[in-house]
Amino acid sequence: MQKITRAELAAELAGGLPAGAVLAQPEQIAPFECDGLAVYRQTPLLVVLPESVDDVRHVLQVCSRHAVPVVTRGAGTGLSGGALPDKDGVLLVMTKFNRILDIDEDNRLARVQPGVRNLAISDAVRPYGLYYAPDPSSQIACSIGGNVAENAGGVHCLKYGLTVHNVREVTVVTIDGEVLTIGSAAYDSPGYDLLALMNGSEGMLGVIVEVLVSLQPIPETTRTLLAAFNNVEAASDAVAAIISEGVTPAGLEMMDNPAIRAAEDFVHAGYPVDAAALLICEMDGLSDDVEAEIRLTEGLLKRAGATDIRTARDDAERALFWAGRKSAFPAVGRMSPDYYCMDGTIPRKHLAAVLKTMETLSEESGLRIANVFHAGDGNLHPLILFDANVPGELEKAEQLGSKILQTCVELGGTVTGEHGVGMEKLTPMCVQFNAGELTQFHDLKAAFDEHGLLNPGKAVPSLHRCAEFGAMHVHDGQLPHPDLPRF
Amino acid sequence: MSDNTQPIRDIVASVLQAAADKQTLTIRGGGTQQFHTGLVHESTALRLDRYTGIISYEPSELVITVRAGTPLRSVESMLASRGQQFAFEPPRFGPNATIGGMVATGLSGPRRSFSLALRDAVLGIKIINGKGEVLSFGGEVIKNVAGYDVSRLFCGSYGTLGVILEVSLRVMPRPPVELTVVRETRTADACQAIQSVRQQVPNLSGLAYDSGRLYCRLAGSEASVAKSVALLGGEVSEQAAGFWRQLKDQELPFFREPGPLWRVSVPPAAPQGNFGARFVYDWGGGLRWIKTDATAEQVRAGTGQLGGSAVLFRSEESRLLDVSASLSAPAIALHRRLKSAFDPMGVFNPGLLFPAGQHHAD
Ligand SMILES: Cc1cc2nc3c(=O)[nH]c(=O)nc-3n(C[C@H](O)[C@H](O)[C@H](O)COP(=O)(O)OP(=O)(O)OC[C@H]3O[C@@H](n4cnc5c(N)ncnc54)[C@H](O)[C@@H]3O)c2cc1C
């Protein structure tokens, strides 16, 4: 097939779209060259801003016909390069899909377009005493479509689940331009659980054009505890003790000393800056239940060796406890010209050991690490501090990150808990999955997108890539893919 | 337990043999759901009930990893001995029900609409695909977005995609207090009554209707449960544990009455619908078991109007669960392509869920 030129493609796309939907000028395209992981940048062939489902169908049909890759983008806050443009492809930007279509108070559901911001949903349903539970720290900016595509989590997913647990239905346009409704307003729907596949599909399986989310009643009471520890082991033990005692906190977050200091410098939350670790533990629900849990948890924290336990007296103090945690990323950003945010998850019982390993790795590499993470579900976010202007530091940071992720996999965890694989974690995926498993992923993708036009090269590494990686990293004396040819 | 475990390579060998001979296999756990998974013939059965044992269970991690053939009843009593449970309250349609069958059918019990569904609790899975490859997806951690969510895809796939070998499941602590209030309610008022309790009572763990009675199960601390009991009025039932078990295991008299049984899944606040039907409601109105003289088309169209779907769950005429009438043509095509992606030769459970399509046998 003769390859279509950029101008021809722009004209054919514009033919079926509202005026101004196709952006082709370099200065119009430039803002879209990266997502939240700015170390990867790429200019797409064209940027398209569709306004309706028919617009999306048109774009996909045209691109399908000419075998042009399509990368979908929500708000572009992703941290793994999932929305990184393809240089030969169209970047489909969903920001004009920004309407809340329906609020069903009786069934506690909201029907929204994918470009609606996460927080805008909770804002819209608050008058009904409801809210949307998954709350990524980026919630003022990120889109619900991006949340579904990444299966985003947040501070409160220990109790309320990830995006996959809070989405009832999605409408998807396939690469052929077909419209599929997956799921329904009911609790379940007949057939394969395609809804589970769409959550975390990273733009690889279809374009999400509508989302039906389930809502929670705003809890009667919310109480927050802050506990300081002299060492990270004690704090990790406290986490295990709380969970195994049968308490399910709404959120259970941990910060290590570098993160505590950075946050305190930045927002003056009153954190004890000498503490080795800080836990923020939040309970919500009915007052009676919450009181019982708070009493139990205070006892557990004391027994685990907490040196200082504070319970927020009012909402203002509660907000202050959280302010430090929520601004930890920008706070760390002030400590260093660049930082690199990792996202591994481990079984909780290994928390202390992994934190120790990271200390050693940090010393070896000479790069500092600050830790602020979702301790309750074992989801780590080590922030590796580096300076991209110093030659070799980015590579050093990436290597350190790879070693941390490898440790997570070795301990029975995963290379990504909530940020997705995208472009960034392709190589670590070779550590977590073998050739058969990766092939199964590719076959699954082909069932949706036979020619691999949606977000090509992301989310699942090619066997070729893993074979090359395996040649470099011989692990435990075993090649990850002994059956593959080496290059 | 691991001593009398059947080795995986034997199961793999059966799969490879069937694929080579262009034969099909019917995967069998405890055989308790043959009323809609089809009768299993010994010649084509792939039996999993000797692949048993709990691989790991650490109560403080809230995760259990189990081999597929392990009896559900033994796993549940193990959890209970540590004050924990499956939050999704899986049904058991017979004493031999297995963990593999539980995941493959993907059904959840009364607590589902107030807590997790089975698929929400599945964290990781080990399978054999139609090429005889042993593959692992997910893991033992709650947050994991590495690769597509194959573990959940297998929930409710009725063995059509592959053999489930092992599964890791999230478990939950039992609530400190759980009790049930029963209220006499007329059939005509059932929907309304359910709706008002759903709106009023914040700490439900079950809400069901059967034969003139509304069952409201409450869970939480002593104090919060007592408050809700006062709010609800009605009487605290001593026999309620039996009711919830009979409801999930389909042992209530309603289920034994003759006639085909429909499983209707709708938004919980949906009105009664117009099927001239006898019914039992579960999931606070979201799951409706229906017996009716209406035709299949009428039931499907009626539930469609309510925003949900209906599946013929038990009937004398058909022993093979078929959901294709609820799926659009492109959705069926996608189901077939997905099946081929896992089971290219069409070895596993042909015709279950949707009529077998053509396979690219190569
Ligand atoms: C400061 C900061 C804090 C963060 N905190 C968290 C956190 O706590 N938890 C967390 O989970 N994440 C967090 N993130 C990451 C990010 O916000 C989430 O991954 C979010 O879900 C991305 O949404 P987005 O709209 O920006 O998607 P984008 O970045 O635009 O896209 C992300 C992926 O989704 C795909 N996609 C987007 N829209 C669609 C669609 N409509 N159809 C199909 N595919 C689509 C893209 O192709 C891409 O692969 C954080 C990011 C930042 C910058």
What sign for the dihedral angle of Cα A447, A451, A456, A457? positive
What is the full DSSP assignment across A384-443? EEE-TTSTTHHHHHHHHHHHHHHHHHHTT-BS-SSS--TTTTHHHHHHHS-HHHHHHHHH
Reference B209, options B271, B273, B289, B282; nearest CA is B282
A152 and A172 both lie in a single domain = yes
Q: Are strands A179-183 and B84-85 parallel, antiparallel or unpaired?
A: unpaired
B122 and B225 both lie in a single domain = no
Tell me if B361 is assigned to some domain: no
> What pLDDT score does A424 carry?
93
User: Out of A104, A165, A379, whose CB is closest to B120?
Assistant: A165
pLDDT interval class at A408 (50, 70, 90): very high
Range of the domain at B243: 177-314
DSSP A308: E
pLDDT interval class at A474 (50, 70, 90): very low
Distance of CA A322 to the CA centre of its chain: 20
**What would the mean pLDDT of A278-300 be, rounded to a whole number?**
95
pLDDT interval class at A471 (50, 70, 90): low
> What pLDDT score does A482 carry?
44
Nearest chain B Cα distance for residue A436, angstroms: 7
What is the H or E stretch that residue A315 is in? helix A315-326
Q: What residues of B are in contact with residue A429 (Cβ under 8 Å)?
A: 146-147
Are A193 and B156 a contacting pair at CB < 8 A? yes
Tens of pLDDT, residue by residue over B275-313, are: 778 999 999 999 999 999 999 999 999 999 999 999 999
Q: State the Cα–Cα distance between residues B361 and A12, nearest whole angstrom.
A: 39
pLDDT interval class at B274 (50, 70, 90): confident
B187 and B161 both lie in a single domain = no
**What would the mean pLDDT of A202-220 be, rounded to a whole number?**
97
Q: State the Cα–Cα distance between residues B262 and A355, nearest whole angstrom.
A: 53
**Ligand 1 atom 52: the closest Cα is on which residue?**
A138
User: Out of B139, B157, B341, whose CB is closest to A443?
Assistant: B341
B65 and B208 both lie in a single domain = no
Tell me if A456 is assigned to some domain: no
> What pLDDT score does B319 carry?
83
**What would the mean pLDDT of A274-298 be, rounded to a whole number?**
95
> Based on the structure, what is the number of domains in chain A?
5
DSSP A232: H
Mean pLDDT of chain A: 93
Q: What residues of B are in contact with residue A178 (Cβ under 8 Å)?
A: 330
Are B147 and A429 a contacting pair at CB < 8 A? yes
Indicate the residue among A280, A304, A330 that finishes a domain. Answer: A330
Q: How far is CA A383 from CA A146, A258, A373, B73, in A?
A: 22, 10, 10, 45
A44 and A118 both lie in a single domain = no
Using the mean position of ligand 1's atoms as its centre, give its distance from the Cα of residue B358 in Å: 38
> In the predicted model, is pLDDT for residue A301 greater than 80?
yes
Q: State the Cα–Cα distance between residues B137 and B125, nearest whole angstrom.
A: 5
> Do residues A148 and A175 lie in contact, with contact meaning Cβ atoms separated by under 8 Å?
no
B33 and B169 both lie in a single domain = yes
Task: Give burial (CB, 10 Å; 0-12/13-18/19+) of B362.
Answer: exposed
A314 and A232 both lie in a single domain = yes
> Based on the structure, what is the number of domains in chain B?
2
> Do residues A416 and A425 lie in contact, with contact meaning Cβ atoms separated by under 8 Å?
yes
**What would the mean pLDDT of A13-23 be, rounded to a whole number?**
98
Reference B151, options A426, A182, A193; nearest CA is A193
Interface probe for A, chosen from B105, B118, B122, B143 (most Cβ of A below 10 Å), is B143
> What pLDDT score does B271 carry?
93
B75: domain CATH number is 3.30.465.10
> In the predicted model, is pLDDT for residue A14 greater than 90?
yes
> What pLDDT score does B342 carry?
98
Q: State the Cα–Cα distance between residues A378 and A344, nearest whole angstrom.
A: 8
Q: What is the ipTM of this complex?
A: 0.96
B158 and B9 both lie in a single domain = yes
B90 and B102 both lie in a single domain = yes
Tell me if B360 is assigned to some domain: no
A187 phi and psi angles, rounded to 5 deg:
-70, -30
> In the predicted model, is pLDDT for residue A487 greater than 70?
no
Range of the domain at A77: 6-93
pLDDT interval class at B6 (50, 70, 90): confident
Question: Which distant-in-sequence residues (6+ apart) come within 8 Å of B47 by Cβ?
Answer: B28, B69
DSSP A252: E
> What pLDDT score does B38 carry?
82
Q: What residues of B are in contact with residue A420 (Cβ under 8 Å)?
A: 145
**What would the mean pLDDT of A339-360 be, rounded to a whole number?**
93
Reference A375, options A236, A260, A242, A245; nearest CA is A236
> What pLDDT score does B277 carry?
80
Structure tokens at A377: 């579900």
B234 and B304 both lie in a single domain = yes
By CA distance, what is A378's nearest residue in B? Answer: B141
A205 and A108 both lie in a single domain = yes
> In the predicted model, is pLDDT for residue B102 greater than 60?
yes
Tens of pLDDT, residue by residue over A36-86, are: 998 899 999 999 999 999 999 999 999 999 999 999 999 999 999 999 999
Strands of A129-177, DSSP E: 130-131, 167-173
Q: Is the pTM higher than 0.90?
A: yes
Are A437 and B156 a contacting pair at CB < 8 A? no
Rounded (10°) angle between helices A287-303 and B222-232:
170
Q: What residues of A are in contact with residue B134 (Cβ under 8 Å)?
A: 436
**What would the mean pLDDT of B252-257 be, rounded to a whole number?**
96
Are B145 and A419 a contacting pair at CB < 8 A? yes
Q: Are strands A90-93 and A46-48 parallel, antiparallel or unpaired?
A: parallel
**What would the mean pLDDT of A165-182 be, rounded to a whole number?**
98
Using the mean position of ligand 1's atoms as its centre, give its distance from the Cα of residue A142 in Å: 6
Answer whether A95 contacts ligand 1 (Cβ < 6 A): no
Using the mean position of ligand 1's atoms as its centre, give its distance from the Cα of residue B341 in Å: 28
> What pLDDT score does A486 carry?
35
pLDDT interval class at A330 (50, 70, 90): confident
> In the predicted model, is pLDDT for residue A259 greater than 60?
yes
User: Out of B133, B155, B309, whose CB is closest to A184?
Assistant: B309
Q: What residues of B are in contact with residue A419 (Cβ under 8 Å)?
A: 145
Q: How far is CA B42 from CA B22, B39, B345, in A?
A: 17, 10, 21
Answer whether A202 contacts ligand 1 (Cβ < 6 A): yes
Structure tokens at B220: 């939480």
**What would the mean pLDDT of A203-230 be, rounded to a whole number?**
97
Using the mean position of ligand 1's atoms as its centre, give its distance from the Cα of residue B290 in Å: 42
pLDDT interval class at B17 (50, 70, 90): very high
> What pLDDT score does B5 carry?
67
